[in-house]
Amino acid sequence: MTIIRSTLCLAACLLAANASAIDLKGLSSTGLKAGKALTLSDADVSQAADQACAYMDQENQVVTGNDPYAQRLAKITQGLANEDGLNLNFKVYRTADVNAWAMANGCVRVYTGLMDMASDDEIRGVIGHEIGHVKLGHSKSRMRTALLTSAGRDGLAASGNGNLTQLSQGQLGELGESFINAQFSQKEESAADEYGYQFMKRHKHDPAALASMFRKLSSKGGLMSSHPGSEARAARIDSMIKKDAK
């Protein structure tokens, strides 16, 4: 779930320049630009997610140790490292932006701006929703699309093969930005909402917190409030609760 657009800093370098990195300079108009099909395996997509997540961790201030935000997230996510067959890892970014996301490799990132406005259960609801995007394959599709529509696409095409190698600094920046700023479809969001609702029930947390989080985000404005049906999605969670109560 893309919540509110984060301003990404893309200047720092995660990977040292080396012969295997793809150089964006001087790329020809061959490959995909000429209509050549490029097939990316699930392993390629997972590898890209590994690199993009590591890049984002380098580009943002990760909160660690005894910091209250880190301690709070650790408490909220206790027992979720292996959730529903997924290997997940969680970190906090110190930024006033209100955001959270999860990549296909299981890295889940929550921003302090979101934590400041949310209760523990509301954060759990957001995390459950994000896990849903991963479990249901939405994050993988989104990463695949980001690869095929970003600088990484040109590098892959220019390399003359379908194998994903180590991406350059510029490609990782564009890939991360494309992934985080892209929106899921309304159908995907609805499916992740339902997953998040069931996640809350499964872990014996209040599922109404997911609805209250939607309403908070809608009232705050920004990307989330313009995403189709924020209030309707909250109402749908309410209807699930009423149905289960009967």
Alpha carbons within 13 A on the beta-carbon side of 11: 2
Active site residue 189: no
The C-alpha atoms of residue 14 and residue 170 are separated, in whole angstroms, by 10
The C-alpha atoms of residue 4 and residue 91 are separated, in whole angstroms, by 18
Which of 216, 217, 200, 214 shows the shortest CA–CA distance to 76?
200
Instruction: Tell me which of 59, 122, 130, 189 is the catalytic residue.
Output: 130
**Cβ contact 185:229 at 8 Å:** no
**Cβ contact 111:6 at 8 Å:** yes
- The catalytic residues are 130
